[in-house]
Amino acid sequence: MKKIIAILMLPISLMLWHDVTESAEPIVFADNAPVITPIKPSSLQVLIEKEGMSTIDAVINAAGSFVPTTDVGPIQSTKTYWLSFELKNDAARDRDFRLTNKTFGLIGLQVYLVHENGDRLAYEKNFATLPPGNEFSRFSPFIAQDPPTKSQYLVLPLRRNETAKVYARVLPDQRFLPQQFNFLSVVDHAKYLELRRFGLYIEGALAGALFALAIFGWYSHVRHRDHTSLMYGIWILFALGSVLVLGVHDGQRLAEFFIGFDSMGSMPNGLSVRNAVGYCVATGQSITYLLFARSFLDVRERFPIFYKITNAWIAYYLVQLTVNLSLKHTIPPNLLWNPLLIWLVFNLLGIYVCAFIRLREGMSIAKFFMVAMVPYVLFRSLFLLGVAGIPSPVAMLPDVGLFFQFKDANSMQGFGVVCEALIMALAVVARSRWLQDELTSSMQAQRDLVENQNKVLEETVQARTLELEEQHRELNDAHRLIVSSVDYASRLQRSQLPKPHRIEGRFASVGVIWQPRDTIGGDLWWLSSAQRSGPFMLAVADCTGHGVPGAMLSLLVSNSLERIYSGDPDKSPADALMMLDHLVRTGLNQDADSSESDDGCDAMIMRIDRAQQEIIFSGAKIGAFQLSGTGAAIRHLPTRASLGYCQPPDPEDEPNNQTISYQPGDTFVIVTDGFTDQIGGDPNSPSSFGYRRIEKVLTDSKNFAANQIADALKEAYESWRGQQKPRDDLTVIVFTL
Question: Where are the chain's structural domains?
Answer: 23-192, 196-446, 497-736
Question: Mean of the per-residue pLDDT values for the chain?
Answer: 79
3-state secondary structure of 614: strand
609-661 pLDDT, tens per residue? 998 999 999 999 999 999 998 888 999 999 999 999 999 999 999 999 999 99
Range with the poorest average pLDDT among 183-192, 250-259, 388-397, 451-460? 250-259
Residue 247's nearest CA partner among 168, 154, 135 is 135
331-372 pLDDT, tens per residue? 666 677 778 778 888 888 888 899 889 888 888 778 877 887
Domain 497-736, classified CATH 3.60.40.10, yes or no: yes
pLDDT beyond 60 at 562: yes
The amino acid sitting at 330 is T
Q: How far apart are CA 191 and CA 249, in angstroms?
A: 12
- DSSP class of residue 531? -
pLDDT beyond 90 at 496: no
- Please tell me which residue, 448 or 383, carries the higher pLDDT value: 448
Residue 63's nearest CA partner among 186, 165, 163, 170 is 165
- Beta strand residue intervals within 163-311, DSSP E: 163-172, 184-188
Chain-centroid distance of CA 394 in Å reads 46
Q: What is the pLDDT of residue 437?
A: 67
Q: How far apart are CA 458 and CA 469, in angstroms?
A: 16
10-44 pLDDT, tens per residue? 443 443 333 333 333 577 777 667 667 777 777 78
- Please tell me which residue, 391 or 67, carries the higher pLDDT value: 67
In whole angstroms, how far apart are CA 122 and each of 55, 95, 166, 337? 11, 18, 10, 34
pLDDT beyond 80 at 490: yes
Q: How far apart are CA 521 and CA 728, in angstroms?
A: 9
Q: What is the pLDDT of residue 58?
A: 83
The architecture that CATH gives domain 23-192 is Sandwich (2.60)
- The pTM score is 0.46
- Which secondary structure element, helix H or strand E, spans residue 627, and what is its range? strand 624-627
Burial of 213 (0-12, 13-18, 19+ CB in 10 A): buried
Q: What is the pLDDT of residue 25?
A: 57
- Count the alpha carbons within 13 Å of 243 in the hemisphere toward its beta carbon: 26
Q: How far apart are CA 27 and CA 548, in angstroms?
A: 115
3-state secondary structure of 250: coil
Q: How far apart are CA 684 and CA 266, in angstroms?
A: 70
Q: What is the pLDDT of residue 385?
A: 61
Torsion of CA 410, 411, 416, 417, to 10 degrees: 70
Q: How many residues does the chain have?
A: 737
- Which secondary structure element, helix H or strand E, spans residue 72, and what is its range? none
- One CATH from 1.20.1070, 1.20.120, 1.10.150, 1.10.3110 for 196-446: 1.20.1070
pLDDT beyond 50 at 243: yes
- Are the C-beta atoms of residues 388 and 364 closer than 8 Å to each other? no
The amino acid sitting at 392 is S
3-state secondary structure of 168: strand
Q: What is the pLDDT of residue 2?
A: 45
In whole angstroms, how far apart are CA 560 and each of 141, 563, 582, 649? 120, 5, 10, 18
Q: What is the pLDDT of residue 500?
A: 85
- Average of pLDDT values for 297-315? 90
- Beta strand residue intervals within 90-130, DSSP E: 95-101, 106-114, 120-126
- The residues facing 88 across adjacent strands are 28, 163
Q: What is the pLDDT of residue 267?
A: 58
- Are the C-beta atoms of residues 319 and 312 closer than 8 Å to each other? no
pLDDT beyond 90 at 272: no
46-103 pLDDT, tens per residue? 888 887 777 888 888 888 888 888 788 777 777 888 888 888 888 778 888 877 765 5
Report residue 716's pLDDT band, with 50, 70 and 90 as the boundaries.
very high
Chain-centroid distance of CA 707 in Å reads 68
Residue 30's nearest CA partner among 210, 201, 158 is 158
